[in-house]
Each structure stands twice: as structure tokens, then as C-alpha cells.
Amino acid sequence: MLFSSLTFLFYFLPLTIICYFILPFRIWRNLILLAASLLFYSWGEPRMVILMVVEVLLTYGLTLFMDKSQKGKKLLLVLTVELDLLILICYKYTNFFVVLINDIFHTFIETLEISLPVGISFYTFQMISYVVDVYRNKAKVQKNPLNLLLYVSMFPQLIAGPIVRYESIEKEIEERKETFEGFSNGLRRFITGLGKKIIFANSFAVVSDYVFKELPVNEYTSTLCWLGAIAYTLQIYFDFSGYSDMAIGLGKMFGFTYPENFNYPYIASSITDFWRRWHMSLSSWFRDYVYIPLGGNRVPKWRWFLNIFIVWLLTGFWHGASYNFILWGLYFGVILVIEKLFLLKVLKYAYVIRNIYSLLLIIIGWVIFNCSGVEQIRLFLSAMFSSLPHFSIEFMNELNYAYLIIYFILGILFCTPLMKYVTEWMNKIAITGVIYDAALVLILAVCVMFLINNSYNPFLYFRF
């Protein structure tokens, strides 16, 4: 089930809210949230909910045993983390390794028919953070298995994050306070995210899907490839940041505080700055649970750079079992090492150029990310830089995309903090605050209209 679906908007969410708030006690409300979350997850994958529940219960039991043990805590930590990772690897990466073996040894091992559980990469990382935080005494072990299952399976953040650390909502599971202000702010945030997803991301998907998936490679031109690359750059931002906004908003409605996941990444002054702004919950997860345990930057320089490459190899591999994701991770790893060596010092004084430099490398990165293989990446990038692109109304008319020009203009504008300042100002003043809420109602109505009239409603991060 998608947040951006009529079933969710008109049936699942209203019924969950009604059942939740008519109950007076925390334990009952938690049970409603847990039941709703399991129903939400099992809506499209009833079998996979069993896998998630079993994995949570195994993690619960092993972590409880680890916490009570006087000796062998580290061994139990490693065992629990390896178990969670093994399940992830079996479901997500088995066929990748089969293909890799076939490519290296020229064998003909058949791939398996394995369904990838939705959100497994996200909830696996959440369980690992829980185990490690308990081991580090940053959080108390959860003695109620239902509370741990609620933390992992909570429907607002289950399928696409943000990756919520257990320590950050440990107290809120049993002691949170729901307020009218929190609910109304959460609803505003949810509608904002819904508008990003349905009005903008779905519109940009029309262009990017045509260029990347439908256009024959022998018809690639510089203009078409740049158009597709820019459309995908905007699509993935509005798609994923929109979903994060909806998740954060839903969390607020039920009294939870989820971490911010995006901070206008396309205004970044370097790639280092970009990864402080993009998918912040994932970047901080790899920093705290992989990079720092490897030694971070408090090691010899060669080891420091190796740590960066390991982190980015794993970051790429986390996104998917494909060569292009690995190449994408290493691509950013190389750039980050170069920046740390000398480039950040240069960029510090290159005020406009540094933003152009960052955006160009980001767009190239998304091309690598979205292509289906290494050969398509080569052909796509070659076409992009084969000549100067030329955009015009006539060109967009030929593609039947002229109506999307306004979306591109607004999309680029909304990637900057300008609209944030405007909406914050409107929300603070009584009259304009009413206008702002009226605008949100209009956005919701437009989203519903789009959903009724158009069945094309992809979500990029489902495959991760």
C-alpha cells in the first residue's frame, strides 16, 4: 500500500486515526498502531510480514540474552547483527552473486525466484541500530517484544524510512504526548509531501521513464539525455523527500518525532555538503555504525581513504544488487576522497562555480544510479557530452511534453529554501496562515484528482 493511494488516504488512514484516538490508554493505542502497521505491510505482501515478525522476535530474544550476559556480549552482538544481515543478503543479493559467479567463471548457474520484501533494507538497518545501541548502553533493552515490533514495523517509516534510531524514539513508544498542534502540523507536513510526490515526482517520471527506459539507445541525443537526466534528478528528489515528509508528518500525528531526511541537497556547495543534506538518516547511519567503527579519520591517511571507499561501496550495494549501484557508490567515494585531499579548500572560495560543480556531478551520479547497466551508462553519458543541448518550446512540443515546462520551473524553484521561507512566514501570520491552510486543502484536492484520473503512480524507493 502506498501513502499516495486512494485506499490509504480514504480508508486506511482515517480508520486508523479514529480507532487510535478513541482509545484512552497508551497500551491500547500502541496495539492499534501495531495492528495497523502489520496490516499496512501485509496489504501487498502477506507472506513477507511473517518474515519481518520472525526476524524482529529473533533480534529481540538475542538482544535480551546479550544484555543479561556477563560474558560473551560482543559475540552475541556479532551473532545478532550477522543474522539480520544474512536474511537481507539471502533475499536481496543471492541472485546478484549467482550472476557474478557466472560472469567470472563462465558457469551457467540458474538464478532463483526470490521476491524482495518491501522495505527490508530499511527495517534491517533499524534492527541493527537497536542491537548496537543496547550494546553501547545508549539505549535500554526492550523487554516487551510488541514494543520492539512496533518500533520496527511502524507504517509511517516502514517501507522507505527515514531510518529511525531506536534511541531516538525509545521513550516515545510508551511516554509520548499527542497534541492538536502536533497533529495539525503533522497533517500539513503530510499534505506537503503528498503534493511533492503526486504533482511533481509523478510528472517528472513521465519524462525520465521515457528517456531511460523506452528510448532506444541508438536514438540518444545530447538534448534528450540531458532532459531525461534533469527530469530524473528532480523526480528522485520529490519522490523520496515527499515520502519522507509524509512519514515525518504521520509520525507527528501520532506523537512521534522522526529525524529530518533532506535539507535542500541541490543547493550543496560540494559533494561532501550534498551528502550532509541528502538522505541524512542513511548517511548518519553509515557514519555511526560503519565509518567510525572502522576508525573514521583517526587512522593513517591510506586507511582513512580505504574506510571512505568501504562505506561508499556498501552504500551503493545497499541500494541494490546491481553493478550500476556499486559503480554509483564508488563514484561518490572517489569524489569525496578528492575533495578531502585538496578540492574542498579550493571550493571554499569558488562561490558560484562550486554550486554548478556540485549539481553537475550530482546529475551524472543520478544517471549512473538510474541506468540499467554499465553499457547504458557509457552510451548515455557519451550522448550527454557529445554536443551542446538545445531546449525549446518546439522541442518539448515534439515530445508532447510542453505542458511540463511549468513543472520544471516550479520544481527547480521548490528545490531551494525560498518557498520554505514563504510558507513559514504565511503560517505565522493569522490571515496568511489561513491562506496557507487553504492552499494545502487545494493541494490535497489536486492530488486526489490526479490519483483518480491517472493510475501512473510509481515509487522509486520501493525497490530498495
- The residues, any chain, with a CB within 8 Å of residue 256's CB and separated by 6 or more, are 154, 156, 169, 172, 176
CB 243 within 8 A of CB 311: no
d(CA 172, CA 155): 16
What angle separates helix 73-92 from helix 48-68, to the nearest 10 degrees? 170
Q: In sequence order, which residues have a C-beta less than 8 Å from that of residue 388 and are 6 or more positions away?
A: 222
CB 307 within 8 A of CB 299: yes
The 3-state DSSP class for residue 268 equals coil
Sign of the CA dihedral running 227, 160, 169, 251? positive
Task: Specify burial of residue 112 (Cβ count, 10 A radius: 0-12, 13-18, 19+).
Answer: exposed
Q: What is d(CA 236, CA 278) in angstroms, rounded to the nearest whole number?
A: 11
> Which segments of 136-201 does DSSP mark as H helices, in order?
145-153, 166-169, 172-175, 180-195
Burial class (CB in 10 A: 0-12, 13-18, 19+), 67: middle
Could you give the residue numbers annotated as active site?
A: 319
